[in-house]
């Protein structure tokens, strides 16, 4: 026919605009998500096939393809994988993809220029001011340092070498910018603003979140995906029933990215307390457990005096005496294991207060994500690093 190979672009699903690495996977996806009978769960091969099945077997009519985006729900269109996609939509998509990649490269350039103008956006440079800007424009400042290469967002595979440099640079910023920080942790505390600097930060810092947040990583998410093709498979695997189409996934296309975050978006809620401490740590803070925890002095004494056997009975009562003497001491305990002995000073400092008082933080599960930093969430998708 004289036109270009139709496989030039990556396979994508016409019904929901998602990208896939392989047409086979695309077909599996379509069968599971769009051509599956809601009554008996039988997987058909096409939309019309599903309609006929429902009519013949269940005597039910269906008028739209399940899990399809508006405008793409036509049940009478015979689409199988990439075959049958109307030319117009094909071209639309190609155009959109091209626009996207142009926009990204332009944005990248722009960001780099901006950051050059600003005062040394090195991670080593401290100062709250340098932090403000990133919030305003998508962490523009942060990019260059974090940007080891065009793709891959310096996913520093498995984070080997990457960590140390990050850590040294970041801590100086932290104390200055608690309100801005929220922008950083991708998806962690989307609530621009309130996030408890302490608990949220530690997890972020070592994790090169700055790198993640940088604009390019979000905008070039298409390309890095190819390096981890395996990632797309599980998402589209039928048995993983829990995955929902509203939550953006790495193979997610251009259109769905800005709308949803991986979590903590308007459509998803993380069933976990806000602070980034483990559930056990949180529970251990409850008064009824706090009073059982022996104080440092006593613990050592006990260990020293513990005979190999038999004395246990004798010891326990002695221990029990201790708790009443300590009226709900919270902080010293946290000092024990929250303290900076080996921790990175930068975020330890931030980390202290939240233990005691942070709870009131914006109890935000639902992310109302105002603020530009939200938009940067996409790095979450980047298969090169985090899932």
Within 174-203, which residues bind another protein (CB under 8 A)?
186-188, 202-203
Nearer CB in complex with another protein: 1/271: 271
**Position among 12, 20, 35, 228 found at the interface with another protein (CB under 8 A):** 228
Work out the burial of residue 4: count CB atoms within 10 Å of its CB; fewer than 13 is exposed, 13-18 middle, 19 or more buried. Answer: exposed
Q: Smallest distance, Å, CB 310 to another protein?
A: 6
**Position among 235, 256, 358, 364 found at the interface with another protein (CB under 8 A):** 235
Nearer CB in complex with another protein: 47/207: 207
Task: Tell how far CA 118 is from the center of its chain.
Answer: 29
User: Does 47 interact with another protein (rule: CB under 8 A)?
Assistant: no
Within positions 316 to 345, which residues make up the interface with another protein, using CB under 8 A?
A: 316, 319-320, 336-337, 341-344
CB 19 within 8 A of CB 11: yes
Q: Smallest distance, Å, CB 337 to another protein?
A: 3
Within positions 102 to 131, which residues make up the interface with another protein, using CB under 8 A?
A: none
The angle at the Cα of 80, spanning 77 to 86, to the nearest 5 degrees, equals: 50
Neighbours of 274 (CB within 10 A): 23
Nearer CB in complex with another protein: 94/330: 330
User: Does 231 interact with another protein (rule: CB under 8 A)?
Assistant: yes
CA distance 254 to 19: 9
Distances (CA, A) of 333 to 222, 294, 339: 47, 10, 9
**Position among 17, 212, 218, 221 found at the interface with another protein (CB under 8 A):** 212
**HSE, side-chain direction, 13 A CA sphere, residue 68:** 21
Within positions 357 to 386, which residues make up the interface with another protein, using CB under 8 A?
A: 366, 380, 385-386
Distances (CA, A) of 149 to 108, 143, 220, 347, 382: 12, 11, 12, 28, 14
x/- site string to another protein, residues 281 to 320, per CB under 8 A?
xxxx-x--x--xxx-x--xx-xx--x-xxx-x---x--xx
Instruction: Give the gyration radius of the chain's Cα atoms.
Output: 26
Within positions 158 to 177, which residues make up the interface with another protein, using CB under 8 A?
A: 158-160, 162-163
């Amino acid at each position: 026919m004289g036109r270009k190979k139709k496989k030039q672009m990556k396979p994508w699903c016409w019904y929901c605009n998602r990208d896939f690495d392989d047409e086979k996977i695309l077909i599996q996806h379509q069968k599971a998500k769009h051509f599956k009978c809601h009554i008996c769960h039988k997987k058909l091969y096409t939309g019309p096939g599903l309609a006929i099945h429902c009519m013949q077997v269940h005597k039910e009519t269906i008028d739209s393809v399940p899990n399809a985006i508006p405008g793409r729900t036509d049940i009478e269109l015979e689409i199988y994988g990439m075959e049958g996609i109307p030319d117009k939509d094909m071209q639309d998509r190609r155009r959109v993809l091209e626009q996207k990649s142009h926009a990204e490269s332009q944005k990248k350039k722009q960001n780099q220029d901006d950051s050059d103008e600003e005062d040394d956006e090195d991670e080593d440079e401290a100062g709250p001011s340098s932090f403000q800007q990133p919030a305003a424009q998508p962490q523009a400042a942060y990019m260059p340092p974090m940007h080891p290469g065009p793709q891959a967002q310096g996913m520093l595979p498995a984070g080997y070498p990457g960590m140390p440099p990050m850590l040294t640079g970041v801590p100086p910023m932290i104390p200055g910018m608690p309100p801005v920080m929220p922008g950083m942790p991708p998806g962690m505390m989307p609530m621009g603003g309130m996030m408890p600097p302490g608990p949220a930060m530690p997890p972020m810092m070592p994790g090169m979140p700055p790198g993640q947040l940088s604009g390019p990583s979000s905008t070039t998410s298409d390309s890095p995906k190819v390096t981890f093709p395996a990632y797309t498979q599980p998402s589209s695997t039928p048995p993983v029933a829990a995955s929902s189409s509203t939550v953006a996934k790495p193979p997610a296309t251009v259109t769905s990215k800005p709308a949803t975050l991986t979590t903590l978006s308007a459509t998803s809620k993380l069933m976990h307390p806000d602070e980034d401490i483990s559930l056990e740590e949180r529970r251990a803070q409850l008064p009824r457990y706090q009073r059982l925890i022996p104080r440092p002095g006593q613990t050592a004494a006990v260990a020293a005096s513990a005979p190999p056997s038999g004395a246990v009975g004798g010891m326990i009562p002695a221990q029990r005496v201790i708790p009443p003497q300590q009226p709900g001491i919270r902080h010293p305990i946290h000092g024990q294991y929250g303290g900076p002995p080996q921790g990175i000073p930068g975020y330890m400092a931030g980390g202290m207060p939240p233990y005691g008082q942070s709870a009131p933080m914006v109890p935000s599960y639902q992310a109302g994500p105002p603020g530009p930093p939200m938009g940067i969430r996409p790095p979450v998708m980047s298969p090169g690093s985090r899932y």
